[in-house]
Amino acid sequence: MLTRYLLIGLFAACLSVTARAQTSTGSMINPDAYHGLAADRRAYQVGDTLTVLVTETASATASANTDASGGVQLGANAQYRNLARNYALGLNGEDAGQGNTTRTGTLQAQLAVRVVAVDSDGMLRVHGEQTVEINGEKQQFALTGLVRPEDISPSNTILSNRISEADIHYTGKGDISTAQRHSILYRITRWLGLI
């Protein structure tokens, strides 16, 4: 009976050593890329994708006021015998200028990006593009930047304001975009200051 337990224990030990040797040399699992079933699914290496929630709002306001005034008074007296004459000439001028400009922009979108490089400090360099065409109007959206892995949520998303060196482009081509552009004649007359 004791011999049977010793033989079973020796056999189990041999199998364990053999399994360890196979795992380290010829394993089918790559330990660098292995993720368990319950592992975190956040992007962390080249080729992984994550979703960027773009919520950008920008506003700028500038105003200027100028007031200037000036005046010149000239006077002369002339007297000839019992006749006295007073002459006066005056110039006054005032100038007031006021300017105000306001610009506001809002962009909300979702874009899937891919990790294209991992920097030496662990930052993930991401890039993604998206093109949507509706009724001949083509909208193109592109984003590049650097992401800290700890800023990625467990659902594998990140807000655009957490991306450093973010470069976000949103452009459109089509009938609507063309209609919004000024004609060359308008731009020339505007440049000459005629309008």
pLDDT values of the chain reduced to their tens digit, one per residue, 195 residues: 556 555 566 565 555 544 454 444 566 666 665 555 555 567 778 888 899 998 888 788 877 777 777 676 767 676 777 777 777 767 666 767 777 778 787 888 899 999 999 999 989 999 999 988 888 888 898 999 999 998 888 889 999 889 999 898 888 876 555 555 666 777 777 777 776
Predicted local confidence at residue 11, as pLDDT: 60
In a domain, residue 21? The reply is no
- Note whether 132 and 187 are same-domain residues: yes
In a domain, residue 33? The reply is no
Burial code (b: 16+ CB inside 10 Å, e: under 16) for 38-68 equals eeeebbeeeebebbbebeeeeeeeeeeeeee
Per-residue DSSP letter, 8 = H
Predicted local confidence at residue 113, as pLDDT: 93
In a domain, residue 77? The reply is yes
In a domain, residue 2? The reply is no
Q: What is the CA radius of gyration of the chain?
A: 38
What is residue 25's three-state secondary structure?
A: helix
- Note whether 55 and 93 are same-domain residues: no
In a domain, residue 178? The reply is yes
Q: Give the span between the Cα atoms of 148 and 122, in whole angstroms.
A: 7
CB neighbours of 124 closer than 8 A, spacing ≥ 6?
43, 44, 115, 117, 118, 146, 147, 148, 149
- Note whether 128 and 54 are same-domain residues: yes
Structural domain range at position 81: 63-100
In a domain, residue 165? The reply is yes
CB 61 within 8 A of CB 101: yes
- Note whether 84 and 175 are same-domain residues: no
In a domain, residue 13? The reply is no
Query: What HEC string does 127-192 produce?
Result: EEEEEEEECCEEEEEEEEEEECHHHCCCCCEEEHHHCEEEEEEEEEECHHHHHHCCCHHHHHHHHC
- Note whether 176 and 113 are same-domain residues: yes
- Note whether 56 and 91 are same-domain residues: no
- Note whether 82 and 151 are same-domain residues: no
In a domain, residue 9? The reply is no
- Note whether 75 and 114 are same-domain residues: no
- Note whether 107 and 71 are same-domain residues: no
- Note whether 91 and 154 are same-domain residues: no
Predicted local confidence at residue 21, as pLDDT: 44
- Note whether 117 and 159 are same-domain residues: yes
Predicted local confidence at residue 19, as pLDDT: 47
- Note whether 158 and 186 are same-domain residues: yes
Number of structural domains, the chain? 2
